[in-house]
Amino acid sequence: LQINPLTMRLQEMIRVIRSARTQGEERGIIQRECADIRSQFRQGDNGERSHSLAKLLYVHMLGYPAHFGQMECVRLIASPRYSEKRIGYLGAMMLLDEKQDASLLITNSIKNDLSHSSQYVQSLALCTLACMGSAEMCRDLAPEIERLLRASHSYIKKKATLCAVHIIRKVPELAELFTPSARTLLSEKNHGVLHGAVVLITELCERNPDTLVQFRKAVPELVQIMKGLVTSSYSPEHNVAGISDPFLQVRILRLLRILGHNNDTASDAMNDLLAQVATNTDSSKTAGSAVLYETVLTIMDINSESGLRVLAVNILGRFLLNNDRNIRYISMTSLQKIVQTDHNAVQRHRGTIVDCLKDQDTSVKRRALELSLALVSAVNIRSMMKELLIFLSVCPPELRSQTASGIFNAAERYSPSKRWHIDTILHVLTTAGGDVRDETVPNLIQLITTASELHCYTVHKLYRALIKDIAQQSLVQVACWCIGEYGDLLLKGECEEIEPVQVTEDDILDALETVLQSHMSSPATRGFALTATMKLSTRITDNVDRIRSIVSIYGSCIDLELQQRAVEYNALFKKYDHMRAAVLERMPVMDKNSPGHTNGDTSGEIKEPDTSKPKPVEAGLLSEPASQKHCCVYVHVVPTVSVYEKNGLSLKIQCDKQTETEVTVTLIASNSTQNDITNFTLQAAVPKVCTHSVFKLGSVFAHTNSRYSFQQPY
């Protein structure tokens, strides 16, 4: 290192800047230096310009503005002195990018320097063009580059090749210009040129399928080159940890991948080589692992023999056990790519993958989670879920939501039983209720309604969870809903599937009231609790008055939603008491796609659909769709309604099933008199709103003691 008095001044400046004790002091020094630099620039050619620019570049790296140096770069590049060109080009790469107008001004200098007698000057021009050349500059200089590709010796050739790569990235149409020369470059012996050639050919093939077809013919040549590298005797110049030029090997393997993809002939031609590399490469150091990694990626992406694929997956499996965390991470990234296509092969490594859930590094954990979720199947669902639930309770917060979703999806697809499914969801809600998506609550409610044999079990479990802790909102909401629906089952004091509780009506109402009054409960949760309380008025016998008073109190609640509900429930007690039983009846089984179930797509916001509040009954079979403005979709539950009671004839309409588009009802007519009723005619009418609906008549069943038969209508 030759120390030059002028260099000292640059280093002196650096020293002074670094000695500044405060930001303000530094800024002062910088300001002084910049003024000095500016005046130096103004002085013109004085042999000091390159040092002034170097100082400016240092200042720029500290984050200070340096745009006044742009023109100086242009001038220095045009200088005949190498020292000035060198720093000028560096300045151009740091201060000028293709967005600056000044960058165009150096095009001519670059053009001249590309044919300079000194290869080091040519080198500067090539480097700069490849670093920051704009599309326009590239178009201008492409012919020069192409010439250098063919004519020059290896020092320049290798740089021209990579320059061509940059040009093609900027101006894809120019690919044609370089395609002919690219092929001949493969016969070069110089590793630098060869490496550049492979990169260039890769770029050409990725952009043009016709070119790709053309270069498939080069596969045997590429295989030969690889073979040479893999089997060659020790070459100190290119050796890295026992691997001969791993950089070149990796690029060739990548090119082979592109050429062999979806093509049997090409894939066959490289099969042996890939097997050889996969078997013989020493992976004790990173260089070898890098080559093995690229080999595996290639094997999996071409039409390889099944034996070769198994070999590749086994390599990945071995990587999973490597002490080096980087290798484990890489392995899982690759396994993720092939878990769908080579599912069984990856399953063999499930145990190791699950172990990686315990890794300290969050990136590794994330990979392990994604892979684990992809490996869940009907066969392993129970053991996998155990691991996933454990993971959920200890995983870093940023992974909880993903884990919860993954668990729900897996449970949805592979639950061995409804009870297991419900238990799993409850477990997730208890552990990570705050991280689940909003539709979890209605999804779970829907699931519970379908598992009618488990209603007693479910409400017991949820009741116990509720009295233990009311912090997890989603869990509390589901618990309230269940208690509102199936509270009578709690009071029975008996249950097949689980130890029953011994509770009184007051106990249950206490639990709900605690939720209502707690500051931890969100407004939505309180809504659930209030409605559940109301519903219990038809399921309990002694304490209805207590419910009446709760409902009346909340009629003046500040929360608008709660107030509205309370007022309506009050009305239900006072004016519509005759309808109360019907309105608050057990819910029918909800279809997954029924309006109350899914979040309204019509409005942008996602809020929980309000399955707890039944709409008061109005005349007509079909209730109007609720307004979507509040982003809450109401369930249009049509309960059983008595529509005619006279002279011993009673008619009831019972809703059996409803979906988004249709409602199925049963008309139950009963005759409580001693005499027969004759000439009973049923006529159905629909409101004008439903003029486009189709009315279908189902079967008619008659239960009669009469001598006369019941005629089937047509």
Partner 1 sequence: MQFMLLFSRQGKLRLQKWYVPLSDKEKKKITRELVQTVLARKPKMCSFLEWRDLKIVYKRYASLYFCCAIEDQDNELITLEIIHRYVELLDKYFGSVCELDIIFNFEKAYFILDEFLLGGEAQETSKKNVLKAIEQADLLQEDAKEAETPRSVLEEIGLT
Binding-site ranges for partner 1 (CB under 8 A)? 1-2, 4, 11, 14-15, 18, 47, 54, 57-58, 61-63, 81-83, 86-87, 90, 97-99, 118, 120, 123, 126-127, 130-132, 134, 155, 158-159, 162-163, 165-166, 191-192, 195-196, 199, 237-238, 240, 245-248, 250, 254, 286-287, 289-290, 293-294, 325-330, 360-364
Q: What is the Cα–Cα distance from 655 to 539, expressed in whole angstroms?
A: 20
Cα-Cα-Cα-Cα torsion 324, 326, 329, 334, nearest 10 degrees, comes to -110
**Of residues 61 and 379, the one with the C-beta less far from partner 1:** 61
Residue 63: partners with Cβ closer than 8 Å, 6 or more residues away? none
Residue identified by tokens 């009673």 is 650
Asked if 459 and 483 touch (Cβ cutoff 8 Å), the reply is: yes
**Of residues 323 and 556, the one with the C-beta less far from partner 1:** 323
**Of residues 5 and 604, the one with the C-beta less far from partner 1:** 5
Residue identified by tokens 């030059």 is 4
**Of residues 286 and 659, the one with the C-beta less far from partner 1:** 286
**Of residues 358 and 657, the one with the C-beta less far from partner 1:** 358
CA atoms lying within 13 Å on the CB side of residue 326: 8
Q: Considering only CA atoms, which of 594, 599, 655, 595 is closest in space to residue 625?
A: 595
Cα-Cα-Cα-Cα torsion 620, 622, 628, 632, nearest 10 degrees, comes to 100
**Of residues 126 and 407, the one with the C-beta less far from partner 1:** 126
**Of residues 132 and 454, the one with the C-beta less far from partner 1:** 132
**Of residues 154 and 654, the one with the C-beta less far from partner 1:** 154
CB of 529 to partner 1, least distance (A): 42
**Of residues 97 and 412, the one with the C-beta less far from partner 1:** 97
CB of 283 to partner 1, least distance (A): 10
CB of 81 to partner 1, least distance (A): 5
CB of 99 to partner 1, least distance (A): 6
User: 684: helix, coil or strand?
Assistant: coil
CB of 128 to partner 1, least distance (A): 9
Residue 526: partners with Cβ closer than 8 Å, 6 or more residues away? 515, 516, 559, 562
Q: Where are the beta strands (DSSP E) in 530-659?
A: 641-646, 649-658
CB of 326 to partner 1, least distance (A): 5
Distance from chain centroid for Cα 209: 31
CB of 693 to partner 1, least distance (A): 50
DSSP string of 9-36, one letter each residue: HHHHHHHHHHH--SHHHHHHHHHHHHHH
User: 377: helix, coil or strand?
Assistant: coil
* Pairing, β 243-244 against β 239-240: antiparallel
CB of 153 to partner 1, least distance (A): 13
CB of 162 to partner 1, least distance (A): 4
CB of 169 to partner 1, least distance (A): 8
Q: What is the Cα–Cα distance from 527 to 530, expressed in whole angstroms?
A: 5
Q: Considering only CA atoms, which of 215, 153, 134 is closest in space to residue 178?
A: 215
CB of 123 to partner 1, least distance (A): 8
**Of residues 126 and 655, the one with the C-beta less far from partner 1:** 126
**Of residues 166 and 309, the one with the C-beta less far from partner 1:** 166
Q: Considering only CA atoms, which of 423, 343, 344, 433 is closest in space to residue 386?
A: 423
Q: What is the Cα–Cα distance from 263 to 213, expressed in whole angstroms?
A: 10
CB of 90 to partner 1, least distance (A): 6
DSSP string of 239-264, one letter each residue: EETTEE-HHHHHHHHHHHHHHHTT-H
Q: Considering only CA atoms, which of 517, 431, 533, 535 is closest in space to residue 475?
A: 431
Q: Considering only CA atoms, which of 611, 616, 537, 539 is closest in space to residue 575?
A: 616
CB of 418 to partner 1, least distance (A): 38
Q: What is the Cα–Cα distance from 454 to 542, expressed in whole angstroms?
A: 26
Measured CA distances, 676 to 87, 653, 682 (Å): 112, 21, 16
Asked if 260 and 224 touch (Cβ cutoff 8 Å), the reply is: no
CB of 158 to partner 1, least distance (A): 5
**Of residues 120 and 644, the one with the C-beta less far from partner 1:** 120
**Of residues 175 and 550, the one with the C-beta less far from partner 1:** 175
Burial annotation 603-635 (CB, 10 A radius, 16+ → b, else e):
eeeeebbbbbbbbeeeeebbbeebeeeebbbbb
User: 102: helix, coil or strand?
Assistant: helix
Q: Considering only CA atoms, which of 252, 183, 257 is closest in space to residue 215?
A: 183
CB of 199 to partner 1, least distance (A): 5
Q: What is the Cα–Cα distance from 569 to 537, expressed in whole angstroms?
A: 11
**Of residues 62 and 151, the one with the C-beta less far from partner 1:** 62
Asked if 470 and 638 touch (Cβ cutoff 8 Å), the reply is: no
**Of residues 326 and 706, the one with the C-beta less far from partner 1:** 326
Both tokens of residue 93? Answer: 């790469």
